[in-house]
Structure 1
Amino acid sequence: MRIQPRQQILDIWRAMMATCWDGRQWSWDGIVDRNSISDTEQLLCLLYPATEIDNFALDNPGRIEGDVRVALEPLGYDEPIPSAIVSLLENYLRNNTRDDGQPDFSAGSYLESADPEREPTKVQRTIEVVDAYSMSLTLCSAGLRFLRAYDAAAKSTSTKRRIETLAAGLSARLTAAMAGLIRSFTVTAVAPKSPEGQAMIGMLNQTGRPERMVVADFTRTMDRVRARLRSGVDIGLDDATRDALDDEHMLFECGWSWGIIRGAAPVAFIEDAIAQEPGIANPRPSLYFTMTALDGINDLLSPRAGELALLDEKQHLLAQALRTRWELAQRYWSTIARFGSGSWPLEDIPWRTADGEQSDYFSLLVSAVLVQDLVARTASDDDLTRAVTIFDELAARGRIIRRPLRGDPAVALHTPGVRLPLKGSEAIDHGPELEWVASDFSAVLLKRVLQVAGLSNNVATRDKLMELAKFTMDHVVARSICSGAAKGLWDDLAGVFGPAEAERETRPSWYMTARIVECLVAAERTYRSSLPNWPELQSLALTLLNTAEHRYNQEMLNESADTMAYPLEHVEERIDQARKQIRDDAAATVVHALEALRELEKFATARRDAARSV
Structure 2
Amino acid sequence: MRMQPRQELLDIWRAVVKTSWRPDEERWEWGGLYAANSIGDAEQLLCLLMPASQVDVFGLDQPDRTGEEMLVALESMGGATEVPRRLIQVLIDYYERYTDADSGTPVFAGGSYFGGATEADEPSDVQRALDIVDSFAMAVTLSLATIGFLRVFRNTTRRVDVQKQIERLEEMASTRLSAAMVGLLRSFSVNVFDTNSLFGRNILRMVNQNGAPTRQIVAQLQTELRQTAASFREVLIGSGQVSDLDSPDRLFECGWSWGIVKDAPLIETDEKIGEQRDGVAEQAPYLYFTVIAMDAIEDLFSERTRVLGLLNEEQQRLSRALQLRSDLTRSYWASVATFGSGAQWPIEDIPWRTTDGEESEYFTLQVTSLAVKGLTQKRGADAELVRIGTVLYELANRGRITRRPTLNDPALTLHEPGVRLSLNGSEDAGGTKMTWLVKEYGPLLLQRLVGIAGLLSDAKQRGNLLELADRVWDHLVERRHRHGAATALWDQAVGAFPELDSRRQEQPSWYYTERVVQALVVAANVIDRPPLRSDRMTAIAQELLSEAEHLFDRELMRGSAAGGPVLEETVRQIRATLRRTREVLPDRPGTAAVLASDVLRRLDELSAGRQNAIEVG
Band of TM-score, shorter chain: over 0.9
Give, as a single letter, the amino acid of the residue that structure 2 aligns with 1:154: T
Structure 1 pair 472–235 and aligned structure 2 pair: CA distance change class (3 A): same
Deviations 1:97-130 (A, max 9, x none): 2242211111111111014432112222112211
Residue aligned with 1:28, SS: coil
2:209 aligned residue: 206
Give, as a single letter, the amino acid of the residue that structure 2 aligns with 1:360: E
- Listed as ranges, the matches of 1:516-535 within 5 Å are 516-535=516-535
- Listed as ranges, the matches of 1:347-496 within 5 Å are 347-375=348-376, 379-429=380-430, 431-496=431-496
Structure 1 pair 213–597 and aligned structure 2 pair: CA distance change class (3 A): same
Please say if residues 187 and 253 of structure 1, whose CA atoms lie closer than 8 Å, have aligned partners that are also in contact. Answer: yes
1:417 Cα deviation from its structure 2 partner: 0.5
Counterpart Cα distance in 2 of 1:88 and 1:559: 70
- Listed as ranges, the matches of 1:83-482 within 5 Å are 83-100=85-102, 101-238=104-241, 241-242=242-243, 244-269=244-269, 276-342=276-342, 343-375=344-376, 379-429=380-430, 431-482=431-482
Identity %: 40
Compute the RMSD of aligned alpha carbons.
2.5
Counterpart Cα distance in 2 of 1:459 and 1:149: 37
Give, as a single letter, the amino acid of the residue that structure 2 aligns with 1:163: I
2:70 aligned residue: 68
Give, as a single letter, the amino acid of the residue that structure 1 aligns with 2:41: D
1:557 Cα deviation from its structure 2 partner: 9.5
1:209 Cα deviation from its structure 2 partner: 1.7
Which segment is superposed worse, 550-559 or 222-231?
Answer: 550-559
Give, as a single letter, the amino acid of the residue that structure 1 aligns with 2:153: Y
Please say if residues 189 and 240 of structure 2, whose CA atoms lie closer than 8 Å, have aligned partners that are also in contact. Answer: yes
Residue aligned with 2:144, SS: helix
Counterpart Cα distance in 2 of 1:97 and 1:553: 73
Counterpart Cα distance in 2 of 1:106 and 1:488: 29
Deviations 1:386-421 (A, max 9, x none): 122111111111112122222111111110001111
Please say if residues 189 and 253 of structure 1, whose CA atoms lie closer than 8 Å, have aligned partners that are also in contact. Answer: yes
- Output the TM-score relative to the length of structure 1: 0.93
Structure 1 pair 551–208 and aligned structure 2 pair: CA distance change class (3 A): farther
Residue aligned with 2:323, SS: helix
Counterpart Cα distance in 2 of 1:404 and 1:449: 22
Structure 1 pair 77–544 and aligned structure 2 pair: CA distance change class (3 A): closer
Which segment is superposed worse, 301-310 or 521-530?
Answer: 301-310
Structure 1 pair 517–259 and aligned structure 2 pair: CA distance change class (3 A): same
Structure 1 pair 374–151 and aligned structure 2 pair: CA distance change class (3 A): farther
Deviations 1:187-234 (A, max 9, x none): 011211112111111111112222222112212211111111112344
Tell me which of 26, 44, 47 is aligned to 1:45: 47
1:537 aligned residue: 537
1:562 Cα deviation from its structure 2 partner: 9.2
Counterpart Cα distance in 1 of 2:274 and 2:387: 42
Residue aligned with 2:28, SS: coil
Please say if residues 133 and 293 of structure 2, whose CA atoms lie closer than 8 Å, have aligned partners that are also in contact. Answer: yes
1:26 aligned residue: 28
Counterpart Cα distance in 1 of 2:173 and 2:573: 59
Give, as a single letter, the amino acid of the residue that structure 1 aligns with 2:107: D
Counterpart Cα distance in 1 of 2:228 and 2:93: 43
Deviations 1:149-198 (A, max 9, x none): 12121201121111111111111111111111100001011211112111
1:345 Cα deviation from its structure 2 partner: 0.8
2:506 aligned residue: 506
1:375 Cα deviation from its structure 2 partner: 4.9
Which segment is superposed worse, 376-385 or 577-586?
Answer: 577-586
Counterpart Cα distance in 2 of 1:338 and 1:605: 61
Counterpart Cα distance in 1 of 2:612 and 2:502: 72
Please say if residues 176 and 275 of structure 1, whose CA atoms lie closer than 8 Å, have aligned partners that are also in contact. Answer: no
Counterpart Cα distance in 1 of 2:478 and 2:472: 10
1:487 Cα deviation from its structure 2 partner: 0.7
Residue aligned with 2:421, SS: strand
Counterpart Cα distance in 1 of 2:64 and 2:115: 46
Counterpart Cα distance in 1 of 2:524 and 2:128: 37
| Unpaired segments ≥5 residues, structure 1 | none
Please say if residues 288 and 365 of structure 1, whose CA atoms lie closer than 8 Å, have aligned partners that are also in contact. Answer: yes
Structure 1 pair 65–580 and aligned structure 2 pair: CA distance change class (3 A): closer
Counterpart Cα distance in 1 of 2:53 and 2:496: 32
| Unpaired segments ≥5 residues, structure 2 | none
Counterpart Cα distance in 2 of 1:315 and 1:561: 64
Deviations 1:514-538 (A, max 9, x none): 1111111111110111122112322
2:594 aligned residue: 591
Structure 1 pair 403–598 and aligned structure 2 pair: CA distance change class (3 A): same
1:254 Cα deviation from its structure 2 partner: 0.4
Structure 1 pair 613–149 and aligned structure 2 pair: CA distance change class (3 A): same
1:310 Cα deviation from its structure 2 partner: 2.2
Give, as a single letter, the amino acid of the residue that structure 2 aligns with 1:507: Q
Residue aligned with 2:120, SS: coil
Give, as a single letter, the amino acid of the residue that structure 1 aligns with 2:69: D
Which segment is superposed worse, 419-428 or 396-405?
Answer: 396-405
Deviations 1:267-312 (A, max 9, x none): 1336767764321001111001000100111112212112222222
Counterpart Cα distance in 2 of 1:274 and 1:537: 59
Structure 1 pair 586–441 and aligned structure 2 pair: CA distance change class (3 A): same
1:58 aligned residue: 60
Residue aligned with 1:123, SS: helix
Counterpart Cα distance in 1 of 2:582 and 2:149: 44
Give, as a single letter, the amino acid of the residue that structure 2 aligns with 1:32: Y
Please say if residues 549 and 575 of structure 1, whose CA atoms lie closer than 8 Å, have aligned partners that are also in contact. Answer: yes
1:148 Cα deviation from its structure 2 partner: 1.2
Deviations 1:302-335 (A, max 9, x none): 1211222222232222111111111111111111
1:609 Cα deviation from its structure 2 partner: 4.5
1:46 Cα deviation from its structure 2 partner: 1.1
Residue aligned with 2:245, SS: helix
